[in-house]
Amino acid sequence: MKDLVIDLEVEKNEILKRYRALLRACKSTLEKGDKRMIRKAFDMALESHSDMRRKSGEPYIYHPIAVAQIAAEEIGLGTTSIVCALLHDVVEDTDVTLDDIEREFGKKVAKIIDGLTKISGVFDTNSSLQAENFRKMLLTLADDVRVILIKLADRLHNMRTMEFMPRDKQLKLSSETVYLYAPLAHRLGLYAIKSELEDLSMKYMERETYQFIKNKLNEKKAEREKFIRDFSEPVKKIVEGQGLVADVFGRPKSIHSIWNKMKKKAIPFEEVYDLFAIRIILDSTPENEKADCWKAYSIVTDLYRPNPDRLRDWISSPKANGYESLHTTVMGPRGQWVEVQIRTKRMNEIAEKGFAAHWKYKESSTDSGLDLWVQKVRDLLKNPESNALDFLDDFKMNLFSDEIFIFTPKGALIQLPLNATALDFAFEIHTDVGASCIGAKVNHKLVPLSYKLQNGDQVEIITSSKQVPKEDWLNFVVTAKAKAKIKSSLKEEKRRIAETGKEILERKLKSLKITYNSENIHKLSYYFKLPSTLDLFFEVAKGTIDMKDLKEYQASEKVIENKPQDKIEAEQVQSLVRTLKAKDADMLLIGEDMQKIDYKLANCCNPIPGDDVFGFVTVSDGIKIHRTNCPNAAKLMANYGYRVVKAKWTNQQELAFLTGLRITGIDEVGLINQLTTVISHDFKVNIRSITVDSDNGIFEGTVMIYVNDTHHLDNLTKRLKMIKGISTVTRFDSIEKAS
């Protein structure tokens, strides 16, 4: 008992130590009475969570303190946010109510806590609910962006302390993080947090790759630091000689971005040159910022030769998330390209802390970027037509993508997402302009509606009163606004046609002596696999469904269940999941002689025994087994978490699984012969197909082979790499990609 008392005493001191560190972190923003307010929130949180512990066994209060610390230190939020961060879990996890919060801390804090409580369940039961909750979360965001910022701080701390969670939880949280939270941080300009969230997700989703890159970075650390010193010192000398106050240092790229580059360019780690960027941070007054940055640019490019295609000027026209900086790539002292970022202290704070830093500089800059963004969210939320999941995708696409700037004929600037078309531009100007658009002039040249706009284009829209929105427009527009307006206009047209179909159907049913009532209409829709009665009337009007079809329906009517399709689907999924999650089947074992559960291996990633996998319950195809690093995994886990089941391989008989290898090298005589000998004779592996392409002495081939498991495949890969002339052997995800 005595030990326990000592432990509690130690914990009590640790809690106070962390609380004092938090106060130090928000010292700069504290005003009169703020300290008392924070103390009150801390006491309430401490009291409410007193009996709770985290998975690691630590007192739960460590978590709210850490979230408040991140909000203060890394995002730069003020007292209201610190109070909300300390209390963010009390309403959800304890007996404290929102009314208690409002009574103690006022309406504003209560509203933010309400927003945070709403979002905490975003990814629970099923997908449409997730997206609906996400919509709610954004509605709150439209009122107060701090809800999202605190939620990001909460997620960051959970990701930092995730090692005690079960593996499936780690994968689910990582998928969600990379699918929603990292892009959200990026969109709010929180670059440092975005990078850390991506790295942490990768740490759990791609463990081996993460560790490999991390170790490689550590090996070359000393060499890299010397290079940065050699590069920076002459720059520093001249910059200071010119009367500028500057900090010059090297910043390593995140593990996630290095991995992305390796994948994108299909190159090994050794060939990724820009493992770090040189950053020059100038201490400038607001009126000299632009001139000082260009002065520093001219100093760097005098010393080192710049790559003219790699100059990015986000000082003259900042990104939509407020990011301002000059980027250039120059040839360093050892003949390698180095990225140099030039910005002022103010710009750097905005780049690291996003819009929270904007508020700090309110006097010297407007909040128009944030207002515009929030306005876009509001427009999206107001559109009642869009289905919740479409909404999620539209939201991601419109608010997380890079922007382009387009000019109207009179020179006004319109901001659109990357890949926007002339038709998107027309809808952005006005719904009626979009609906009646027949073409456009881009930089005075006539172009079709689907023309993809480039940054800086000047666009004039040509309209006609006879034009109406067409179905195929949906194939090329990208903005949510254009999609929503086209869909609603097509729906109107469809309704008009469906009215005629309704009358035709009524007559035809009468002649078949089938009563025209809502029950029978629903049965018909289900029979013809149509999502709604409107679609049924529409198909009848178009003549797709005729008398012959109706007679077939009449004959089969005896066996039709009277249930709408989506209900049946939901029930099928639920019962399948229930079967799987029964006590004895907590984990789906793949590869046994399993009569009771029908599973298939997913084509998108072709898992083989030994891969880290999960099961996904589909409606018509039983269970699909995916690799956890499958290109579709993040989306499936984030949107349909309730359909995901844990799965692992059992020790099974020697079964063969089809997988593909991509092989490159120097085309030497007899290379193919050596390859096939190693595969067929040494490893006794069956080859299904082999395709080879040789171009100017470079050999590239794909081999489809049957292997037993990952161990078997790894050994084969190692042996193939030893063949003279072979430079790379990589497994590829999808069998379809190869064919």
Query: What are the tens digits of pLDDT across the range 216-273?
Result: 888 888 888 888 888 889 999 998 888 889 999 888 888 998 898 888 888 888 877 7
Residue by residue, DSSP assigns 704-736 as EEEESSHHHHHHHHHHHHTSTTEEEEEEES-HH
Residues 270 and 348 in one domain: yes
Placement of tokens 């797709």 in the chain: 544
63 and 135 part of one domain: yes
What long-range pairs does 288-293 form, CB within 8 A, spacing at least 24? 289/315, 289/344, 289/346, 289/347, 290/315, 290/316, 292/244, 292/344, 293/326, 293/342, 293/343, 293/344
**Do 305 and 350 belong together in one domain?**
yes
How many C-alpha atoms does 335 have within 13 Å on its Cβ side? 0
Q: State pLDDT tens for residues 30-51.
A: 788 888 999 999 999 999 998 8
pLDDT, residue 401, reads: 58
Burial (CB count within 10 angstroms: exposed 0-12, middle 13-18, buried 19+), residue 419: middle
- Mean predicted confidence (pLDDT) in 108-121: 77
Q: Does the annotation count 163 as an active-site position? A: no
Three-state secondary structure call for residue 657: strand
Mean pLDDT is lowest, of 323-337, 403-417, 581-595, 715-729, for: 581-595
Q: At residue 531, does pLDDT exceed 80?
A: no
- Tokens for 519? 């029950």
pTM: 0.65
How many domains does the structure of the chain reveal?
6
Nearest Cα neighbor of 320 from 400, 428, 424, 412 is 400
209 assigned to some structural domain? no
Q: Is the pLDDT of residue 381 over 90?
A: no
Does residue 635 or residue 246 have the better pLDDT?
246
Q: Of 338, 365, 392, which closes a domain?
A: 365
CA 627, distance to chain mean position in Å, is: 18
Reported as a single tens digit per residue, the pLDDT across 613-628 is 888 887 666 788 888 8
Secondary structure of residue 16 in the 3-state scheme = helix
Are 503 and 384 in the same domain? no
What is the overall mean pLDDT for the chain?
81
Residue 189 lies in a domain: no
Residue that wins the pLDDT comparison between 559 and 436: 436
**What's the pLDDT band for 738 if we cut at 50, 70, 90?**
very low
Banded pLDDT at 307 (limits 50, 70, 90): confident
How do 413-417 and 437-442 pair as beta strands? unpaired
More confident residue, 631 or 397: 631
537 in a domain, yes or no?
Answer: yes
Whole-number Cα distances in Å, 157 to 24, 37, 136, 589: 19, 23, 23, 33
Alpha carbons 649 and 437: distance in angstroms, whole number:
56
Q: Is residue 196 assigned to a domain?
A: no
Q: Is 394 a catalytic residue?
A: no
Among 555, 590, 606, the domain-final residue is 555
SS3 614: strand
Q: Is residue 514 part of a domain?
A: yes
User: Token digits for 500?
Assistant: 């005629």
Position 170 in a domain: no
Q: Report the DSSP beta bridge partners of residue 406.
A: 414
Q: How big, in percent rounded to 5, are the helix, strand and coil portions of the chain? A: 55, 15, 30
Q: At what angle do helices 127-143 and 146-160 cross, to 10 degrees?
A: 130
The average pLDDT across 334-350 equals 88
Residues 310 and 440 in one domain: no
Q: Are 436 and 467 contacting, i.e. CB atoms less than 8 angstroms apart? A: yes
**Under 8 Å between Cβ of 26 and 38:** yes
Kindly state whether residues 90 and 221 are assigned to the same domain: no
Tell whether 386 is covered by a domain.
yes
* Whether residue 473 is found in the same domain as residue 380: yes
Instruction: Out of 9, 43, 92, 546, pick the active-site residue.
Output: 92
| Active-site pick, 11, 58, 93, 132 | 93
**Is pLDDT above 80 for 715?**
yes
- Please give the residue range of the domain that contains residue 152: 2-161
* Owner of token pair 């800059």: 365
